[in-house]
Amino acid sequence: MSVALQQFLDLIRRYPLVTGCVVALLILGGANYYFYHQRSELARQQDEARRYGEAQLPVLASQPRLAAQNATIVEAVELIERNLVVESDLAENLGYFYQLEPASRVRV
């Protein structure tokens, strides 16, 4: 063993309290570094979630209006689907056009 290493080990054996404090200081310093960076990352994620939530507030406030518009659109789509012309059903197609005759005042 080298002389410097032997002197260092003797110093550690001579001052166990100081050695324990230095080891504890190094461990706690490493933990502090780790938790500081973890806290910074969590704070960034929390800020991002807060901004996302604030952006959603107007959408949530207009939700009843959007639901009413959606219901209106669904009704319109159902009406369009009911009134579509089906190529294979000639009798129903002619009936549809005869229904349009009085409304449009056009003779078919």
Q: Is the pTM of this model over 0.85?
A: no
Q: What are phi and psi of 75, to 5 degrees?
A: -60, -45
Give the DSSP per-residue string, 22-64.
HHHHHHHHHHHHHHHHHHHHHHHHHHHHHHHHHHHHHHHHTHH
Helix (H, G, I), strand (E, B) or coil at 97: helix
Q: For each of the chain's 108 residues, which pLDDT tens digit applies?
A: 789 999 999 999 999 999 999 999 999 999 999 999 999 999 999 999 999 988 888 888 888 888 899 999 999 999 988 877 666 666 666 677 777 777 777 766
